[in-house]
Chains A and B, each alone.
Chain A
Amino acid sequence: MAQKELQFKLFRYNEGDEAPRYETYPVTVDENTTVLIALMHIRRDQDPSLMLRHSCHHASCGTCAMVINGQEQLACVVRAMELGTETVLVEPLRNIPVVSDLVVDMVNFYGRLNPADRPYIRQSEFLAESATPDGIELYTRFENCIECGACVSACPIMGTDENYYGPAALAAAWRVVEEPRGRDPQDALDWVDNEKGCWRCHVAYECTEVCPTGVDPGGKIMSLRGELTRQKFRNLFDFGRR
């Protein structure tokens, strides 16, 4: 298998440092080497102080989202050679506080996401192709959003307005409307119907662009707006009739 030496230019920062710095490490990669594996090799062979988050290694947990050559991506599924650059620039997510190196603090992210009271389990779309089986009323599965923070990092509003709920939370709110699973979807609609919610979005669709699991937060924000607009028209006509 073809091998090649690439330079990995990494954002470095420790608590107490005056300013972040960049350090470059050479790593020999092959066609299968992901950016995550290259970073783990740097930690193992060159600099054990390098900090990064990772867990599942297959785009299911969301911990290894980082900014690779300027674009939010999951390091575990980006093959370094396919980037096509001699130097691979790796930085932490934007709009989320940096703990150290490539590690960001997800506390604020979940603080924004949790009020959406998002469903964790959804009905499986595979249902359409199979009859309802005996004993299993409905197949269920986990939601698509892996809470990686890529959308929040890419969103141009998040950096300028700390009150904005952001694309991950708004997409979660739409999931409640789409598939309430016992909840009252009106709560979610009321929660987003303000200048911190779905009306703050500038429709840049950067979130949808970077989402690694096809959640399409931008589209979901537009769905929220559409539903709220329909409700307002309905209320207007009901008023006119009285």
Chain B
Amino acid sequence: METFHALIVGGGGTGAAVAHDLALRGLKVTLLERHEVTAGTTGRHHGLLHSGARYAVNDQESAIECIEENMTLRRIAPGSFEENDGLFVAINDEDVEYSHAFLEGCAECGIPTQRLTREQALRLEPNLNPDTILAVRIPDATMDAMRLPLRFFATAKQNGATIRPFHEVIGVVKQGNTVTGVRAIDHARGKEYEIGADIIINAAGPWSGQIADMAGVEVPIRPSPGVMVALQGRLCNMVINRMTRSGDGDIIVPQRNLSVIGTSSWVVEDPDALGLPEDHIQLMYDEGAKMIPLVNETPFRAAWSAARPLIGPRQADADSGRALSRTFKCFDHSDEGVEGFVTITGGKATTLRGMAEAAADVVVGKLGIDAPCRTKEVVLLPFEAYYA
């Protein structure tokens, strides 16, 4: 059988999982990333392995994706998670009112819940706001945002994939309406080169609109940054979520010896110019302290912005990304008259494997190969294997 060459643009979690999936299906895989791997959005997320509960009321498609992938990742990446579960805490009457829809939504999406009284919640997490009225426990977990994707990269490499960090794509090569390769710069050697492929997969996250422009196709991506604040010290062991509709500063994620408060949301045109609005940092403190008052007395460690790759109209009239779905989408651009080019974008860190499966299904379909997905079964190598 002919071996097809798939070229992936973007070395974040999505690219890592696509490389792993396609390598398992027997394709020759090359991945180009302009920075170090996971240097864009992937490495900068708050480290939550979503239970899906956050989306159980308003975005059930995302919620179901999250709980399914949550369980799958625990199986294929054992040892990669702080498996301490999460709480949704209600601290006022409005929160309590929301908890009814929340519990119903979780049940509809297959997300297991356990209702806790104030006393039970405070026994689990003594730093919670003493005004907590009730809490619901859900299977959230915490991950190392870089080291989970490294396990996909490592396993892809073992299966023959070539991962090239610091190789920046600067143009797309086309023959007629078919994309046949890319032009790239190898920054370590300062050399420009061209590389051909049977299919190109655009997995550049918030930058996927820029890569699509090079190919002359439209990807309706909206780079939507959020601000996060890391505090020095562990305020909780479970992931603490506010029992409310998705909003600013609605989550505190413990990670190593840090507590990360996230996040805000706005929309930018250029994912390389995010900025770090001062008022958003203050908002993280203010909202975070409503769940855990000690937030205001804990030493500051870092504040940063990361851009979500949300799917929506490119020239949007709304100024916040909240209403956009967190689900992912795979675009086969043949409907725009361009062949040999696929985009996988949107989604979240928790759904990286599922995104890759969707993209790889489209890829093998286009190439006419019969090769089923195997990533639900294959246990990933440890992350250290990436550096072997």
Contact = CB atoms under 8 A, between A and B. Distances in A.
A103 B254 contact: no
A interface, size bucket: 35 or more
A51 B190 CA distance: 11
Interface stretch (B16-24, B204-212, B300-308, B362-370): B300-308
A103 B166 contact: yes
A199 B303 CA distance: 40
A60 B256 contact: yes
A201 interface: no
Contacts of A14: 188-190
A63 B38 CA distance: 10
Interface stretch (A120-128, A153-161, A190-198): A120-128
Nearest to B114: A135
Contact of A77 (B47, B79, B256, B302): B302
Nearest to B384: A110
Contacts of B92: none
B188 A61 contact: no
A142 B278 contact: no
B237 interface: yes
A40 B85 CA distance: 35
B234 A49 contact: no
Contact of B82 (A1, A44, A76, A140): A140
B235 to A, nearest CB: 8
A139 B84 contact: yes
B35 interface: yes
A55 B44 CA distance: 6
Interface of B: 35-36, 38-39, 42-44, 47, 79, 82-85, 123-126, 142, 144-147, 166, 168, 185, 187-190, 228, 230, 234, 236-237, 254-258, 260, 272-273, 276, 278, 301-304, 306, 384, 387-388
29 contacts: A37-B276, A40-B272, A48-B168, A48-B185, A51-B188, A55-B36, A56-B44, A58-B44, A58-B228, A59-B230, A60-B145, A100-B166, A106-B387, A113-B384, A125-B234, A130-B124, A130-B126, A130-B237, A131-B123, A136-B124, A141-B82, A141-B84, A141-B254, A141-B255, A142-B82, A142-B255, A144-B256, A213-B256, A213-B257
Given A58-B230, A60-B144, A114-B384, 4 more contacts: A16-B189, A49-B190, A61-B145, A133-B123
